[in-house]
Amino acid sequence: MGDEALVGRVLDGRYLITERIARGGMASVFLAEDQRLDRQVAVKVMHRGLGDAAVFTERFRSEAKAAAKLNHRNVVAVFDQGSDGDITYLVMEFVPGRTLRDVMRTEAPMPSLRALDLVEQVLIALSAAHEAHLVHRDVKPENVLITPDGEVKVADFGLARAVSTATTATGNALIGTVSYLAPEIVVNAGTDARSDVYAVGAMTYEMLTGVKPHQGDSPIQVAYKHVHEDIGPPSDLRPGLPDYVDALVARATARDRDQRSADARVLLQQLRRVQLALRQGVDDDAELAADLRPSGPGVPLTAGADEITAAVGGAGEDEQTVTVTGGSPSTEHTAVLGGAAVAAAAPPATPATAVDTPPRTPADRQRRRGRRLLVAVVVLTLLAGGLGYYYGVGRFVDTPALVNLTEQQAIAEAEQAGFTLEVTDREFSETVPLGSVISTDPAAGERILPESTISAVVSSGPERYAVPDLTGRTLDEARALLAEANLELGAVTETFDQEVPEGQIISLQGVAVGDLVKKETTVDVLVSQGREPLEVTDFTGSTEAEATQGLQDIGFEVGVERQFSDDVAEGVVISQSPASGTVLRGDTVTIVVSQGPELFEVPNVVGQRRNDAEAALEAAGFEVDVIGRGNFTVLGQFPGAGSMQERGATVSITGL
């Protein structure tokens, strides 16, 4: 039964398992609900295949006891430990966020201050442990958790041992992660706070350079390099790093532990001197570098015959172990190899005799050391090949390659390989088609137990969002609508518009309503400034046609009024309103056009007496020219009756 079967189960009547959040070489970590205290916790559950081994069970118990002694904000708190049937578990503080390994994947090689600021918090946590006489012994990026607000917490004190008993462990098992193992752990020469210092130094090197300090085709080769090769200065890979940064790493990773910082607190003080110099912009500081750099070559671990003997085992000695790793190249898991095979592979002890042995010369001792070193290397190689089969090839199998397969194809492929595929998330992808696998955990080629569950992330296709209709909206309204659609407001172009009120969007630019675009695409808009203000030109004195055309060309509507004028010729503009100033485009400008003088009808006065005729014509507004004498009867008039004449025109009348 795989780990996924635990989801939904209540351990010890208290811890409801809700989901798996991590998987390591020996255990999986689940998010759980503490039903008694109503809080979220992390529950570490030992893999069932290891649960029968007393050494692993003891490690879990030891982890709880060791970590429970530490009450520090930079240390993941351990709340409880226990067993439920064949399940051995540990209950810890749940820390949301990322591991340092996650951060390194995206940021390494890191800027010096960024790296050292993170390491500073790790050292603060380890200082608390070292002061409590506890040694972590498995410091690595996977055990450094970083909360969303940047606080660092160190986890998995399962390898910690009281310093007083640090040189031995249950079954003499030495557990750790090979990339960060101090040389003394490899040769089983005892462990103390300086072993943690070495691991922090190796981790700092990787943060600064982006690569592990020692590389090899197998864990044994890497372990061998820790013992026999110095970790180089980070500036070899990062030219321009100050000399005192190199010196700090050299001090922490000295192969001779006597040359290292005594414990985490000492290294913390040295690191803070380096931080200060970096913040002050100091490029190189020969005095600081000399003060930090190891004082001398020290005594290599391989120079001690006793240490080599301890590494390979001898007659009458307890079983010894070394450490190997499993998992992907980017994530290292802790694993343990039993020491029985080492002891079995060691040459039998030669019984002592009573024959006197002449004193060994320095050359004899050197040859003896060389032979023992050769034996150590041979035994370590046999150990990797023999026990590595059970804990590696023989026990674990490769994760199949499922990326880019459709979901159904991936499920079938996983089942055929003996695994269960669980789709844990769906994400947008620009490169992986809809419904196909983006990634798996574990990744293809990683070594996992048969019948395990492989978590998969399946593509939801490209992430696209429809452009909303923004016409008629204000800019604030448009921003809100775009934010809801996961888009952003782009360039705003303003123009005058006769129809759209000022401040409202006229149209989109570059895209159309309903277009599907990428997340956070910027949408450009054209915004109305309202109607355009125009300067008025006065067309008084122009003809009606000239004034009308001129005003229309500017952008106005033209209103025409007509008026008689004795002074302005017919068809000529008498006046204009408005005649000057600023008017909005499309507004009406009114012109008054002359109809010329006003004409009046000449009344008929023929047959009337002279006096009556004169009175009638004058009343009609005409001047009268009388041809004749006395009050005669009008026999004729000119202009004739009914004709139209200007006011004041002269009408002649005649009679007898």
Q: Catalytic residues, which ones?
A: 138
Q: Is 487 left (phi over 0), alpha (psi -120 to 50) or beta?
A: beta
Q: Which H/E stretch holds residue 115?
A: helix 112-131
8 A C-beta contact, residue 110 and residue 211: no
State the pairing for strand pair 588-594/557-563: parallel
* Whole-angstrom distance, CA of residue 619 vs CA of residue 5: 121
Q: Which of 582, 578, 581 is nearest to 534 (CA)?
A: 582
* Whole-angstrom distance, CA of residue 417 vs CA of residue 135: 41
For the chain, the residue count is 656
The Cβ of residue 289 has, within 10 Å, a number of other Cβ atoms equal to 19
* Whole-angstrom distance, CA of residue 53 vs CA of residue 300: 35
* Whole-angstrom distance, CA of residue 462 vs CA of residue 460: 7
8 A C-beta contact, residue 242 and residue 277: yes
- The DSSP bridge partners found for residue 456 are 423, 440
Q: Which of 300, 315, 314, 326 is nearest to 376 (CA)?
A: 314
* Whole-angstrom distance, CA of residue 355 vs CA of residue 50: 49
CA dihedral over 106, 108, 114, 117, signed as positive or negative: positive
8 A C-beta contact, residue 450 and residue 418: yes
Q: Is 155 helix (H, G, I), strand (E, B) or coil?
A: coil
8 A C-beta contact, residue 18 and residue 32: yes
Instruction: Give the neighbor-by-neighbor strand order of the sheet with 488-495.
Output: 488-495, 522-528, 505-509
Q: Which H/E stretch holds residue 39?
A: strand 39-46
* Whole-angstrom distance, CA of residue 133 vs CA of residue 70: 11
User: Which residues does 254 contact at the CB level (< 8 Å), separation at least 6?
Assistant: 198, 230, 260, 294, 298
Q: Which of 163, 155, 157 is nearest to 193 (CA)?
A: 163
* Whole-angstrom distance, CA of residue 485 vs CA of residue 197: 50
Q: Is 386 helix (H, G, I), strand (E, B) or coil?
A: helix
Q: If you search the block for the tokens 């390659």, which residue do you land on?
A: 401
Residue 188 token pair: 């089983």
Distances 308 to 70, 172, 183, 189, 348 between C-alpha atoms, Å: 35, 16, 12, 9, 15
Q: Which of 183, 103, 195 is nearest to 146 (CA)?
A: 103
